[in-house]
Amino acid sequence: MKPMSDTSKIAKNLQAFQMAINAHDRENPSHNAYGIGLAAFDMDRLGLDEGETILPGITIHCDAGTSGNFRVLCDGDHDEELEEAEEEVVDAVAVRAGTADDGLDSRTIPPPEEW
């Protein structure tokens, strides 16, 4: 068993974990949070073990995230929402309305709203 970190650090982290889980559940009602992801360094620093239950139904998991940050882990697919929001990207070319003089002939270019 690892030595326990300062209780005030643990209390502040538990409060932050609970706030993040509440925000996640409020914004993603169809996804169930099951854990908190921490970097191995942060787990050691706080004296937490992999799979340890820290809140009802919430366990600690070591992941490849950056130190100093934590992640709410859930059973939902957040990338699915990003794919739905993805739009087709097209290249736009700016053309000024007026006369074009390309050396061959002079012609009138209509404004974009008439295209």
Q: Tell me the pLDDT tens digit for each residue of 69-106.
A: 899 999 876 555 555 555 555 555 555 555 555 555 55
What single DSSP character describes residue 84? H
Top pLDDT among 14 and 104 is at 14
Q: Report pLDDT for 7.
A: 82
Kindly report whether the global pTM for this prediction surpasses the value 0.85: no
Distances (CA, A) of 17 to 12, 27, 59: 9, 15, 11
Q: Report pLDDT for 17.
A: 94
* DSSP per position, 13-70: HHHHHHHHHHHHHHH-TTS-EEEEEE-HHHHHHHT--TT-EEETTEEEEE-SPPTT-E
3-class secondary-structure state, position 107? strand
Residue-wise pLDDT for 22-70, tens only, equals: 999 999 888 889 999 999 999 998 899 999 999 999 999 998 888 888 9
Q: Report pLDDT for 21.
A: 94
